[in-house]
Amino acid sequence: MKDHIVISKATIDRLPLYFRTLRLSQEEGIDIISSEELGQRLGVTPEQIRKDLASFGQFGKKGVGYYVRELIGNIGEILGLHYHWNIAVVGIGHLGSALSNYQNFTSLGFNLVALFDASPEVIGKTVNGVVVESIDRMTEIVRDRNIHIGIIAVPAVYAQGVADKLVSAGVAGIWNFAPIKITVPDKIRIVNEDLSVGLSSLSYHLSRSLHEND
């Protein structure tokens, strides 16, 4: 892998798409894939794919294509999936339960090792083989189980407090599903997934299409 090269966010954001598409191709029994075929599956130009991958090294064979299994391993390593990060979900309501049952966590190398909630009705239940613990035990459990990533699926009013607890406990990254901007130290990596923003954006584009057809 090349060092000391600034990689654009757009390139980094495309890597998981390449990874997912390659895995699907592997499931179809495809051993070798060209940048043209990969591009057709993703709606990305072959030139862009080759440029993105060249940012990290030399992959594939000219005139042949990419060896699917090998490239999956290469991109997985670039994405850090080989580290097998331990994760926890905080807030086991409808969304939190759905996230906890997401089977691709395991196949991607993420280990779901803890679930937290504040409700006595939820604490003690088992979701996807993991017992829901009291949020009061978060600091202790995050440290004991070496949890790297915390997933926040609580109502907005509680999100900042949960983030503070996760940071204090020692997580390195947060995946936030609460519909609010939370503040964390610069050293903490955070990704926000606001479902309302995505749906509102989709609604905007659909409404524009309707007006254009009037």
Per the DSSP assignment, residues forming a β-bridge with 89 are: 115, 151
Exposure pattern of 122-141 as b/e (b: 16+ CB <10 Å)? bbeeebeebebbebeebeeb
Ligand-binding annotation for 161, yes or no, is no
Ligand-binding annotation for 94, yes or no, is yes
Ligand-binding annotation for 150, yes or no, is no
Instruction: Report the alpha-carbon distance of residue 118 to residue 91 in Å, rounded.
Output: 8
Ligand-binding annotation for 82, yes or no, is no
Report angle CA 204, 210, 211 to the nearest 5 degrees.
Answer: 90
Ligand-binding annotation for 53, yes or no, is no
Cα 83 from chain centroid?
14
Ligand-binding annotation for 96, yes or no, is yes
In the annotated binding site for NAD(+), the residues are 91-96
Q: Residues marked as binding?
A: 91-96
